[in-house]
């Protein structure tokens, strides 16, 4: 959908579509469907447009917010930065562990995002993947809001993993939130108060050992300056 709107009737379904792209300015309306439209199978929903009504991401389906560089190539779904807006509830209902949403980070303050007008519902099989795109180099203090919701949050066993972690998968502390590996940069991921904040925010912070080294370096520099003045 590059423009305009598509309204689904009470018994309508487009869940057999392999790829649904909703561009900025386009709207998919699902309000006539009780509980919202359910996407399952191998369907990918991408774009920076709007969904009026509720949306359910079921078995093997996936949401990838962001623009698309090639409308004829499903492999490019959501490969550009963008925000996908859902006016009502967003519900993830996979029955086995699977990646239900993919986000890309493009730079400081630039990343994919999903906004939810009411409730966000997850479960223990709902995995969220985050990757770096392009030439972005992680920097201390960079942060991104990936999901924002207005209503209630149901985690249903979903875990953001260990706070202040590197993102190295072999540490087995990722939970359901797979973040890029910051080990080569000596940095860690700080995750916001997900269950009580109304948003999922991730931030890059330095490892404690680096902070200590920086503090020692600053102290040594001040000491040398003091000696010179004396």
Does residue 63 or residue 216 have the better pLDDT?
Answer: 63
Query: How far is residue 42's CA from residue 17's CA, in Å, rounded to a whole number?
Result: 8
- Which residue carries 């993947």 as its tokens? 129
User: What are the angstrom distances between the C-alpha of 76 and each of 18, 44, 69, 70, 147?
Assistant: 13, 11, 6, 6, 21
Residue 176 has pLDDT above 60, yes or no: yes
Q: Can you spell out the DSSP letters for 132-190? A: E-TT----TT-EEEEEEESS-EE-TT-----SSB---GGG---TTEE----GGGTEEEE
Mean residue pLDDT of the chain comes to 91
Q: Is 87 helix (H, G, I), strand (E, B) or coil?
A: coil
Over residues 80-119, the pLDDT tens digits come to 999 999 999 999 999 999 999 999 999 999 999 999 999 9
Over residues 127-157, the pLDDT tens digits come to 999 999 989 999 999 999 999 999 999 999 9
Report, as an integer, the average pLDDT of 215-228.
Answer: 50
Query: How far is residue 198's CA from residue 187's CA, in Å, rounded to a whole number?
Result: 25
The two structure tokens encoding residue 56? 């359910």
pLDDT of residue 13: 85
User: What are the angstrom distances between the C-alpha of 175 and each of 126, 135, 187?
Assistant: 10, 27, 19
CA atoms within 13 A on the CB side of 103: 25
Q: Are 133 and 80 in contact (CB under 8 A)?
A: no
Does residue 202 or residue 221 have the better pLDDT?
Answer: 202
Containing structural domain, residue 103: 5-229
pLDDT of residue 227: 57
Number of domains present in the structure of the chain:
1
User: What are the angstrom distances between the C-alpha of 174 and each of 62, 99, 149, 189, 198?
Assistant: 19, 13, 22, 11, 21
Q: Name the band, by pLDDT with cuts 50, 70 and 90, for residue 230.
A: low
Residue 125 has pLDDT above 60, yes or no: yes
pLDDT of residue 195: 86
């Amino acid at each position: 959908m590059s423009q305009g709107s598509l309204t689904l009737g009470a018994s309508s379904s487009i869940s057999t579509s392999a790829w649904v792209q909703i561009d900025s300015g386009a709207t998919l309306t699902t309000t006539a469907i009780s509980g919202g439209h359910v996407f399952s199978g191998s369907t990918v929903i991408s774009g920076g447009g709007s969904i009026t009504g509720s949306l359910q991401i079921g078995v093997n389906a996936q949401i990838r917010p962001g623009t698309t560089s090639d409308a004829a190539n499903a492999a490019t779904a959501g490969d550009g930065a963008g925000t996908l807006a859902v006016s009502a509830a967003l519900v993830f209902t996979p029955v086995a562990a699977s990646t239900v949403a993919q986000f890309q980070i493009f730079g400081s303050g630039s990343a994919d995002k999903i906004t939810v007008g009411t409730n966000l519902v997850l479960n223990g099989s709902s995995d969220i993947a985050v990757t770096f795109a392009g030439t972005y180099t992680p920097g201390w203090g960079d942060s991104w809001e990936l999901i924002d919701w207005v209503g209630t949050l149901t985690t249903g066993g979903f875990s953001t993993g260990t706070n202040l972690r590197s993102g190295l998968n072999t540490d087995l502390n990722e939970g359901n939130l797979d973040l890029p590996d910051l080990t080569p940069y000596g940095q860690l991921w700080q995750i916001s108060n997900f269950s009580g904040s109304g948003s999922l925010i991730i931030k890059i912070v330095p490892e404690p050992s680096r902070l200590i080294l920086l503090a020692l370096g600053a102290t040594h520099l001040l000491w040398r300056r003091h000696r010179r003045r004396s």
